[in-house]
Each structure stands twice: as structure tokens, then as C-alpha cells.
Amino acid sequence: MTKQILKQMIAVSSVAVIAMLVFIGSASANMEYDDGGVNPTQTSEVLALEHLEEIMDKYHSDFDVYTDLSAAGNHFVLPAKMGVDAEINPGCFENPHNGATCIENKFNGTGTSWGGWYLMNGALEGEETQPKQNWGEYLDAGFNLTGATELVFWARGEEGGERVEFFAFGVGRDPNTANPTAPHPDSSPKRSLGYKTLGKEWQQYTIELGGADLSYVLGGFGWVTNARKNNNKPITFYLDDIKYDKERLDEPRFLVSYELLPADEPVLKNTAFTYDNALVLLSFLANGTEEDLERARLIGDALVYAIEHDRHFTDGRLRNAYQGGDLKLFPSWKPHGKEDTVRMPGWWDVKNDTWYEDRFSVSAHTGNVAWPIIALLSLYEETQEDTYLNASIRLCEWIEDECRDERGAGGYTGGYEEWEKTANNPQGQTKVSWKSTEHNIDVYVAFTRLYKLTRDGVWIERALHARHFVEAMWDENEGHFWTGTSEDGISINKANIPADVNPWGLMAMDETNKYESGIKWVENKCYAEADGFKGFDFNNDTDGVWFEGTAHMVVAYQILGDETKANLYSGELRRARKEANNTNGKGLVAASHDGVSTGFDWIYDARLHTGATAWFVFAELGYNPYWNVDTSEPVPPLLYGDLNSDGDITPADAAIVLQMAVRGEYTTTADVSRDRQVNALDALVILQTAGGRIKLG
């Protein structure tokens, strides 16, 4: 079915749901959502995609110097002191112009004292984890800001009347003559606004850049003042939203996963989870306009770049997360001697003057390598560009080489954890020995799709190796998947039963009839009503609605053809899009309230989440992200006709099909003639295939 026809169908079913809500007199259906940015006549998936576009463009519509502490768009992040008696705090929470923080600045000199700060790019070498000052000594250390016409910033004084000079550039040049004093100075001499007298309220200032050579910028912004100008009085003033008007919307990039609230710990401030970005790529593909395809490519290109430009690894592994904003690390920041490496997420701790990185983010989990494969193969299907296929092969080979496991039911282990090897961390990343059902579901689909696209038979055996593990994690009596094994690779981890492995298994595996009971299990054990919403929790303590998981269930219901339930929960998600805690009326928040438990060592909060929003788009469009097909289509098998899953078509398969025909059973795998019946004709086709006369897809 083409995408266009599908959209028409969805449009019809949306109308039906809205009518139903009005009929039952739901207060919410009649409520006005008061948000200037939301057009209430737009359909949900259009608004959800608009939200993803805004997140995607947030740090590329301008070239930011500073918006918030640790914001993904910040540049010139190293404050360098000039003179004396000047202090700076880039993480001040007091009345920022925008967002969570602003920069607090103090000068308390007297007599002939002067001081100030440059916000500079700096340089980073070897095993350093933080930049050092560069006053023009380092080669290739400047940003090219050619094309920018102005530098805009906001400032306010604590009392009003504070006098401060604001400027940019001039690092490595004599302030009076503008002549170079260092081998690699700023391309432009200092460009100053002169002394300004600040008011108590936020005010916008602009430094015009016309005529300046912006090809090599070291000092992106600065201020200086002296005691005389301030009558020997100590001053405090604030800065926020410092930006160059340089648009960079054609650059490959990742989207930050969560929109934090001002009071949140900034740990995830700039974190772009790899899984979420694979989903966003797929949501653009699912919608499928020309602009969507361009956006999908930019995320795909970012993934391809990350494979080849890790700051440490050269084996093609992807990390669990990268940073939003710029894809590449700044000029002359060379961790382990490598240039232009992909940026890792983290946060700046003002009190300790230290950059921290999260253990999960720097790790490389198998599922977070497999989802990008699924996304890149879908992108390859739409563009036929070899880059995306080759990148997928590299990632598949990494999983096969690094994670293949022969213990127990086989399958693939969970990947690698922790930070890379440095002098302070001699152990480096270590291989984990547990196995995850979800990871193996993802790997099964990734390998199967690679086989179908390359016809390279080695991937059949590898796909089956993952599938056998997944099948072993199915509990026939209780009718659900277990989460995986403990570290011995054999004993099933029964300490926690997550919901999502069940809809994922249904979307990925072609035995839809068998895995339907996993959906029933989630209905019985994970159904939750909370904060005015009906939906599903991540696990079975039902302490809140997890909207991403509720969207998984909608996609599963669509595959099962259960329109009533699909529509019921789609309606809840649409309402959540409009009314849930901390929504913006467009995207979907992760959970109905803060702290919804998972049974693992993380929780979900009511924060706008790109991953949840992408799943919402899948649900709205009727899209199975595992296979890049509509949910109305059957889940494809690895090999049509391979009934005993041994990776080969033989007379034994034909015999199974004949038995099924007698019993009136149906599976997609058996229906090789694809006429929605299993009968002797299918057995005959399989026999002919086994005899080498025809080839099955």
C-alpha cells in the first residue's frame, strides 16, 4: 500500500475517534488548548512532526554562544579571565532571560583595577577532558562564522547603572593597533560596543558584524570593565541568549531527547539518545514528504558520521547517546589526538569546575546499535544510497563480531559499558555478559533485513541465532516474553517484567497469532489509569502511564487488526499530546507524571520526549518501524517457506505446510503464494523451491 492511500485511511479513522469523544461528552474534547503556537485544526501527526522539527532546528537556526548552562548549542564554552577582581558563573538560576540559567558576572575592583572575561573556544589535547585557554597559540582553532551579520545578546544589571564594555574577537591581537601578537590570532580585530550603562530589566544589545573577517574566530564574546567607570562600587550583572545570526540547517545532526524544565538537574540537558534519533529518522520516513526525507537523511548522515568518528573507538561501534547541537567537536579539540570527533553528551558542574559524562550515555548497548541499523536500512530502501547500506553492514558486523554468544539459547550479548580506556580509567569499556530479549528482537530484524537487501546468506544464520534466543525467552504458560538472561547468559532474569518487549516481539516476529498473548499479558498486568489518562505502564506496578509504551500497544493493536483498542489508546495519546503535564501541545511527554517506575534503575518523567513523540507518529500513521511497512501489512518472515526455521527450504518445510493445511492453520511464512490461505499449492511451491526450480523471497 502506498503512503498516500494509508494517510487517507488514517484521516478517516481520526475523524471517527474525535466524533466518539464528543459523543461521550468528554470534557477534554471541548477544552480549548491555549497555546499560540498550536494550530488546533492540524492533525496529531502533523503537530507531533512539527515538534520534532523544532527540536531538530533548535540549535541550528542560529550559532549560539550561550543560551543555558550545558545547552547543546553553546560555543566558546571556555571562560578566560582578563585582569583581576572579575568573577563569572555560567549557571545562575536567578531570573534568566530565557530557559533555566543565565550568566552571572561580578566585578569588585577599586582604584586602577580592571577585569573581565572572554568566552573563548580554547584547545583540548591528548587525554584531557576539558579545554585549556588559547590566546592565539594553536593552529586550526577557530570557528568560521562567515555569513553572520550580527551578534545579539541580552543583559541586565543587578541594580541598574552598571557600566560594562561588550565585545567580540581580537584574541591574539594588540587591542590598540590590532596587529597580531600571537601566531594564530582571531581573523578580526576586537569589535566593541563600547561601554554600556545597564538597566535593571533585560535589554537586547547588538554588535554589528559588517566588514569583519569572521573566517577564524577564537573569542566569541567578552566583557570588560574597571573600577573608575563604576565609581569604585562592586557591580553584578547578568547575560543570556548570546547568539550569532548564522543558520546551519543543512548540517547533519542529532536531536536532544528530552525537554527539561528549568529546575531539572542538567544531566540530560544536551543528551541525544541514539535510539530516540533512530526513531525520529523513521518517523520522518513514515510521513514521507520531500522535506521529511531530507530530515531523515540529516539524521542518517549523523549516524554514519558517528560510526567513523568516535573519539576513541575505530571498530564502528555506536554509543548509547551523542550530543545535540553541533555534530563535530570544536576546532582544535582533539581527544586522543583525533580531530572532528562526534560530540559526546555531558554536563558542566559549576561548583567543581568539571565536565561530567554519564555512564549509560558513553556505553554501547547492542539494541542501540541495532535500531540505527533498522533506521539506516529503511533510509536505504527509500534513497537507494549505498552509504546507508554500507554503514548498516558495518554495524551488523560489529554486533556479530563483538556480541555473538553461544551460551544457553545463543543470541547476542548486551554490548559494552562504561568509559573508554584512559590513564584514569585503565580498564576501559568492558563487555557485558547478560542478554536482552529486546536487543535480540532488534538484531533479528536488522540481520533479516540486511539479508533481504544484500542476499548475502551469512545473515540468515545470524538472524536465526538471534531469533532462537528470542523464542527461548517466550514463556508459553504465562504468555509473555521475559526481559532476558542474567550474566551467566542462561538463567532467565525474572526480577522484572517490562511491558514493551511484548509489543516489540509482536511487531518484529511473523508468528503474530502466537505473540498476541503477550499483548493480552500487558493488558492484564500493565494497564494503568493515572493523571486522567488510560494507558500502559513500563512494568507491572502500574504506578503511571508511560506514553511511549502506550504508543507501542497502539501499533501492536493495529497489527492485530483490533481497531477498537487501537482507537481507544490513540485517543488517549492525542489527549496526552494536548493536555498531559508539561506538554507543549505538539509533542508527547514520556510519562503521565514524574518518576514513573520501570523496575530497572531508571524512571520516566513527564518531559517532552522525542522517542515517545516518534512512536506517537508511528501510531498515528499506522507504521511498523521494524520493517518500514504499514501496520495493515503482515509482519514479514525471515524466509517465506522456512517453516522449521533452519534457514533453508527443504521438503521438510513442505511437509509442515501440508499438515497446517489439513489443520486449517495460517502463518505468513507458510503462505508462500501470498493469497492469504495455506493449502497444498503452498506446499508444492516449497517443494519446487527445494528442488531448486524457483527461488522464494
Instruction: Note the residues at the interface with Ca ion (CB under 5 A).
Output: 68, 96, 98-99, 240, 537, 539, 541, 543, 597, 642, 644, 646, 648, 653, 671, 673, 675, 677, 682
Q: Among residues 499, 467, 507, which one has the least CA distance to residue 483? A: 499
Tell me how far, at minimum, the Cβ of 456 lies from Ca ion, in Å: 19
DSSP 444-499: HHHHHHHHHHH--THHHHHHHHHHHHHHHTEETTTTEE--EE-TTSSSB--S---S
Element (H, E) at 6: helix 3-23
Distance CA 146, CA 168 (A): 14
Residue 309 or 480 with smaller CB distance to Ca ion: 480
Tell me how far, at minimum, the Cβ of 98 lies from Ca ion, in Å: 5
Distances (CA, A) of 575 to 30, 534, 553: 11, 10, 16
Tell me how far, at minimum, the Cβ of 599 lies from Ca ion, in Å: 7
Element (H, E) at 46: helix 44-57
Phi and psi at 381, nearest 5°, equal -60, -35
Please answer whether residues 522 and 552 qualify as being in contact, where contact means their C-beta atoms are separated by less than 8 angstroms. no
Distance CA 468, CA 349 (A): 46
Residue 491 or 677 with smaller CB distance to Ca ion: 677
Please answer whether residues 476 and 499 qualify as being in contact, where contact means their C-beta atoms are separated by less than 8 angstroms. no
Residue 326 or 653 with smaller CB distance to Ca ion: 653
Distances (CA, A) of 452 to 310, 397, 447, 463, 639: 29, 16, 9, 11, 9
Residue 129 or 667 with smaller CB distance to Ca ion: 667
Residue 135 or 546 with smaller CB distance to Ca ion: 546
Residue 376 or 612 with smaller CB distance to Ca ion: 612
Q: Among residues 579, 581, 575, 614, which one has the least CA distance to residue 596? A: 581
Block residue for cell numbers 474534547:
29
Distance CA 508, CA 472 (A): 15
Residue 96 or 587 with smaller CB distance to Ca ion: 96
Tell me how far, at minimum, the Cβ of 539 lies from Ca ion, in Å: 5
Tell me how far, at minimum, the Cβ of 385 lies from Ca ion, in Å: 34
Residue 14 or 597 with smaller CB distance to Ca ion: 597
**In 473-546, which residue ranges form alpha helices assigned H by DSSP?**
501-508, 512-526
Residue 137 or 675 with smaller CB distance to Ca ion: 675
Tell me how far, at minimum, the Cβ of 501 lies from Ca ion, in Å: 15
Tell me how far, at minimum, the Cβ of 424 lies from Ca ion, in Å: 32
Residue 408 or 647 with smaller CB distance to Ca ion: 647
Question: What residues contact residue 608 under an 8 Å CB cut-off, 6+ apart?
Answer: 51, 258, 259, 582, 583, 584, 587, 588, 589
Tell me how far, at minimum, the Cβ of 161 lies from Ca ion, in Å: 23
Q: Which grid coordinates are listed for 683?
A: 506446499
194-205 burial, b at 16+ Cβ within 10 Å, e below that, comes to eebebeeebeee
Please answer whether residues 667 and 511 qualify as being in contact, where contact means their C-beta atoms are separated by less than 8 angstroms. yes
Q: How many residues does the chain have?
A: 697
Distances (CA, A) of 105 to 68, 99, 119, 173, 579: 15, 18, 12, 24, 39
Burial of 17 (0-12, 13-18, 19+ CB in 10 A): middle
Tell me how far, at minimum, the Cβ of 59 lies from Ca ion, in Å: 13
Residue 186 or 543 with smaller CB distance to Ca ion: 543
Tell me how far, at minimum, the Cβ of 548 lies from Ca ion, in Å: 13
Q: Among residues 623, 533, 571, 594, which one has the least CA distance to residue 49? A: 623
Please answer whether residues 288 and 374 qualify as being in contact, where contact means their C-beta atoms are separated by less than 8 angstroms. no
Tell me how far, at minimum, the Cβ of 576 lies from Ca ion, in Å: 17
Tell me how far, at minimum, the Cβ of 645 lies from Ca ion, in Å: 7
Residue 304 or 678 with smaller CB distance to Ca ion: 678
Residue 147 or 595 with smaller CB distance to Ca ion: 595
Residue 500 or 537 with smaller CB distance to Ca ion: 537
627-640 burial, b at 16+ Cβ within 10 Å, e below that, comes to bbbbbeebbbbbbb
Q: Which grid coordinates are listed for 677?
A: 490461505
Tell me how far, at minimum, the Cβ of 306 lies from Ca ion, in Å: 28
Give, in degrees to the nearest 5, the angle at Cα 483 between 480 and 489: 125
Phi and psi at 322, nearest 5°, equal -130, -170
CB atoms closer than 10 angstroms to residue 272: 28
CB atoms closer than 10 angstroms to residue 177: 9
Distance CA 193, CA 168 (A): 9
Angle separating helix axes 563-579 and 610-621, nearest 10 degrees: 140
Tell me how far, at minimum, the Cβ of 674 lies from Ca ion, in Å: 6
Residue 343 or 593 with smaller CB distance to Ca ion: 593
Tell me how far, at minimum, the Cβ of 103 lies from Ca ion, in Å: 8
Tell me how far, at minimum, the Cβ of 537 lies from Ca ion, in Å: 4
Type of residue found at 124: L
Instruction: Give Cα 270 distance to the centre of its chain.
Output: 10
Residue 297 or 525 with smaller CB distance to Ca ion: 525
